[in-house]
């Protein structure tokens, strides 16, 4: 099984087996992922210089083991820590983020933040962003065809997140600038200079939210929206600090606007590529939540989904992982692992999804899971209402990809044929038509 062993007993692979940056892989990862989960579920990648964990069972085990941390500070190649006084708002927020904190602090943060991300609060966000969704579809109109990426996926998530964190409409351009800077600053495949420039560009946005938090704290009531809920969260005397809250806003922006972009394109691709499933969902809208998870599972748009770092030397499934080494959690391969899922690439919105890893597992389970379901439901609901007979142009939407995206198989073109009949050709019931006889 070893291609060559630099370390005795270590299973090794290289770019000939798995290259997440190759165009062929990005377009069609399936054969590679099947090989990884079946033949190399845990392997050292000589070119990426990290472990890659790919099977469902191995990913599940690692996600639930806190000895593998998402904090980059545990990485053997992490830059030296700056003195606290020299850190800027971006760096302080990152330090307070859910990925960076120690286990005890992490549980405390999750507990305090839970109400703000809960189903009831996310349900209220439904009401707040519904007009954004209808607005995006109003902008599409009734063309013969449209691009689901530029008309829906690229617009909706950033607008929804801005609304969610309470950014006024006249500041949306400023917020979009902030969101792009925050995302770019965490793109490890960008040159250091570009990331540093993005960090600097994000600082006005952090200053803005620091001001918003101060105003809300000074008010009689912090508000019952997302930011208000974070400010008001308490456990006895324990409350979230300013940088805890800014870290949550930062995380929500990155996940909620960047990852959510792929949610929309892949959901549309999955449904319109499986017309009988699209029809089924229209007939049975109560399947919506399950459908969203299944669409994400089958779409499997992650390229380099998640990272972990070993906090100590540890044996994992027969492999010796050294303290500080990085691990790529190849979650999207696990999502279509044939050892876990029957007919893994078949979209089935009625499928039982017990034990799925679409939102991860364990302590770092996706905190935005309900936001994803709300955004996805609204978009799909409007799509079904406006374009019930839509299909993908040429069967595949003439799909194109952004091959340079930092961690996703980012679709940046997906053409949809609306099949909306022009207004003048629509059937008008007889009872409404006056006749001369």
Partner 1 sequence: MKKWICIICGYIYDEALGMPDHGIAAGTSFESLPDDWTCPECGSPKESFEPYVG
361 binds partner 1 (CB under 8 A): yes
To partner 1, the closest distance from the beta carbon of 342 in angstroms equals: 18
Provide the angle, in degrees to the nearest 10, between the axes of the packed helices 156-164 and 119-140.
Answer: 140
- Tell me how far apart the alpha carbons of residues 144 and 61 are, in angstroms, rounded to a whole number: 48
What is the C-alpha R_g of the chain? 23
Instruction: Tell me which of 35, 46, 64, 92 binds partner 1, using CB under 8 A.
Output: 64
- Tell me how far apart the alpha carbons of residues 350 and 373 are, in angstroms, rounded to a whole number: 16
Pick out residues in 390-409 that bind partner 1 (CB under 8 A): none
- Closest to partner 1 by CB, 21 vs 365, is 365
Neighbouring CB atoms inside 10 A of 232's CB total 18
354 binds partner 1 (CB under 8 A): yes
Tokens, residue 24:
């062929």
To partner 1, the closest distance from the beta carbon of 320 in angstroms equals: 25
Residues touching partner 1, count (CB under 8 A): 20
Q: Which one of 33-41, 303-311, 356-364, 403-411 is the stretch in contact with partner 1 (CB under 8 A)? A: 356-364
- Closest to partner 1 by CB, 106 vs 409, is 106
Q: Which one of 58-66, 150-158, 274-282, 417-425 is the stretch in contact with partner 1 (CB under 8 A)? A: 58-66
To partner 1, the closest distance from the beta carbon of 118 in angstroms equals: 5
Instruction: Tell me which of 359, 386, 403, 406 binds partner 1, using CB under 8 A.
Output: 359
Backbone angles phi, psi at 314, to 5 degrees: -150, 140
Name the nearest CA neighbour of 160 among 138, 129, 188. 129
To partner 1, the closest distance from the beta carbon of 402 in angstroms equals: 31
- Tell me how far apart the alpha carbons of residues 116 and 165 are, in angstroms, rounded to a whole number: 11
Report whether 31 contacts 18 (CB < 8 A).
no
C-alpha angle 228/230/232, rounded to 5°? 65
Q: How far is CA 245 from CA 48, 107, 162, 251, 421, in A?
A: 34, 15, 15, 10, 48
To partner 1, the closest distance from the beta carbon of 334 in angstroms equals: 13
- Closest to partner 1 by CB, 360 vs 376, is 360
53 binds partner 1 (CB under 8 A): no
68 binds partner 1 (CB under 8 A): no
Instruction: Tell me which of 326, 369, 375, 407 binds partner 1, using CB under 8 A.
Output: 369
Name the nearest CA neighbour of 257 among 77, 410, 46, 85. 410
- Give strand pairing partners of 329: 53, 306
Instruction: Tell me which of 370, 373, 374, 378 binds partner 1, using CB under 8 A.
Output: 370
- Closest to partner 1 by CB, 100 vs 136, is 100
- Tell me how far apart the alpha carbons of residues 148 and 166 are, in angstroms, rounded to a whole number: 26
To partner 1, the closest distance from the beta carbon of 360 in angstroms equals: 8
The binding track of 99-138 with respect to partner 1, each residue x by CB under 8 A or -, is: --------x--xx--x--xxx-------------------
- Closest to partner 1 by CB, 331 vs 399, is 331
Exposure string (b/e) for 414-425, b if CB count within 10 Å is 16 or more? bbbbbebeeeee
Report whether 408 contacts 302 (CB < 8 A).
yes
The binding track of 313-352 with respect to partner 1, each residue x by CB under 8 A or -, is: ----------------------------------------
135 contacts: CB under 8 Å, gap ≥ 6: none
- Closest to partner 1 by CB, 147 vs 244, is 244
Instruction: Tell me which of 157, 222, 360, 397 binds partner 1, using CB under 8 A.
Output: 360
- Closest to partner 1 by CB, 45 vs 364, is 364
To partner 1, the closest distance from the beta carbon of 164 in angstroms equals: 17
Q: Which one of 29-37, 283-291, 298-306, 353-361 is the stretch in contact with partner 1 (CB under 8 A)? A: 353-361
To partner 1, the closest distance from the beta carbon of 59 in angstroms equals: 11
355 binds partner 1 (CB under 8 A): yes
- Give strand pairing partners of 309: 69, 326
- Give strand pairing partners of 315: 320
63 binds partner 1 (CB under 8 A): yes
Q: Tell me which residues touch partner 1 (CB under 8 A).
A: 60, 63-64, 107, 110-111, 114, 117-119, 354-355, 359-363, 365, 369-370
């Amino acid at each position: 099984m070893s291609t060559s062993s630099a370390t005795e007993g270590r299973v090794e692979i290289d770019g000939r087996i798995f290259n997440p940056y190759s165009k062929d892989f990005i377009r069609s990862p399936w054969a590679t992922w099947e090989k990884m989960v079946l033949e190399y579920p845990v392997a050292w990648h000589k070119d990426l210089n990290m472990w890659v964990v790919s099977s469902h069972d191995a990913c599940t085990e690692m996600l639930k083991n806190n000895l593998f941390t998402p904090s980059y500070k545990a990485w053997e190649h992490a830059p030296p820590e700056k003195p606290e006084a020299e850190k800027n708002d971006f760096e302080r927020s990152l330090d307070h983020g859910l990925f960076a904190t120690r286990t005890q602090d992490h549980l405390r943060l999750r507990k305090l933040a839970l109400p703000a991300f809960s189903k009831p609060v996310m349900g209220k966000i439904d009401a707040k962003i519904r007009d954004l969704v209808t607005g995006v579809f109003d902008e599409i109109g009734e063309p013969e065809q449209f691009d689901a990426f530029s008309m829906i996926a690229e617009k909706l998530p950033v607008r929804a997140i801005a609304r969610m964190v309470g950014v006024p409409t006249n500041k949306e351009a400023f917020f979009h600038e902030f969101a792009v800077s925050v995302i770019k600053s965490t793109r490890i495949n960008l040159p250091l200079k570009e990331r540093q420039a993005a960090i600097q560009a994000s600082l006005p946005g952090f200053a803005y939210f620091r001001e918003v938090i101060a105003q809300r704290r000074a008010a009689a009531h912090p508000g019952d929206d997302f930011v208000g809920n974070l400010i008001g969260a308490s456990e006895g005397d324990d409350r979230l600090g300013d940088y805890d809250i800014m870290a949550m806003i930062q995380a929500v922006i990155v996940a909620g606007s960047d990852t959510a972009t792929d949610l929309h394109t892949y959901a549309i691709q999955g449904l319109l590529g499986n017309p009988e499933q699209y029809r089924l969902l229209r007939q049975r809208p109560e399947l919506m939540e399950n459908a969203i998870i299944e669409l994400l599972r089958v779409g499997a748009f992650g390229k380099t989904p998640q990272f972990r770092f070993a906090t100590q030397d540890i044996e994992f499934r027969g492999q010796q992982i050294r303290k500080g080494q990085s691990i790529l959690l190849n979650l999207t391969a696990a999502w279509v692992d044939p050892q876990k899922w029957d007919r893994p690439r078949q979209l089935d919105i009625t499928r039982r999804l017990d034990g799925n890893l679409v939102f991860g597992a364990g302590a770092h389970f996706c905190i935005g899971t309900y936001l994803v379901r709300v955004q996805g439901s609204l978009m799909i609901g409007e799509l079904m209402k406006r374009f019930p007979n839509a299909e993908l142009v040429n069967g595949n939407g003439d799909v194109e990809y952004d091959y340079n995206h930092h961690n996703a198989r980012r679709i940046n073109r997906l053409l949809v044929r609306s099949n909306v009949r022009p207004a003048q050709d629509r059937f008008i019931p007889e009872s409404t038509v006056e006749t001369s006889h």
